[in-house]
Structure 1
């Protein structure tokens, strides 16, 4: 028995240090689930497009909606899913912006 931790009465020890643990840790499965669901959401939104202009606007709108859901999930739901949603929405926006830049360089500005 370790006597250095046992209070003697003459020199009472304070409470032991608390062990802080994350109440809702971020798990890989939750991140992948959020990323997959958002990728499906962006794919369905992109399939509704009839032109490159509508593709960009639909993907940007769907990504903004996904980011709002990620913020809501951060405070209310699973933060792992929120991370996956935000990552996948960011990748979708990067693809849409890449299309805008590629079209802008080759043929000119097409969003307005």
Structure 2
């Protein structure tokens, strides 16, 4: 795009586009200003003519505080009751699977199997069912797997033998 140098000072805007100035530039007094001729009815006038007093719309009054910020809410929030239900169901699930183990080796592998199945259930509940229950199941499975890993790690440290092989 080519720049225009100069030229703006020589041109003046159409009448009625500038706000009223402090000193009137008209050769006649303001009280004796001639009336503008109106266009015939039905024909639009271009550029739009407005009186100098109405050249700018009135500004809105200043508010003493800013407008409130928008609030974005989750369409399906997670509630406490489904979360606690998922925690309890998964705790029962891990207690049943953990009780199948006779020693640390079988307890750890049953816990891993229970955690993998609980993660599949949590993923299914996230997509199709209640996300609160899915969060409870995922939290409990992470905690139960951490407890089993802690027992395996403690045995490994004390006996210097990896108990899962």
State the TM bucket, normalised to the shorter chain: 0.7 to 0.9
Give unmatched runs, 5+ long, in structure 1: 1-18
8 Å contact 1:24–1:78 — kept in the other structure?
A: no
Higher relative contact order (CA 8 A, sep 6+): 1
1:33 to 65, 68, 85: 85
- Equivalent position of 1:83 in the other structure: 135
Higher helix proportion (structure 1 or 2) = 1
Deviation at 1:20, TM superposition (A): 6.2
- Equivalent position of 1:73 in the other structure: 125
1:109 aligns with 2:154: no
RMSD: 1.5
Aligned length: 95
8 Å contact 1:35–1:88 — kept in the other structure?
A: yes
TM-score if structure 1 supplies the norm length?
0.80
Give unmatched runs, 5+ long, in structure 2: 1-70
Q: Secondary structure at the match of 1:111?
A: coil
Larger radius of gyration: 2
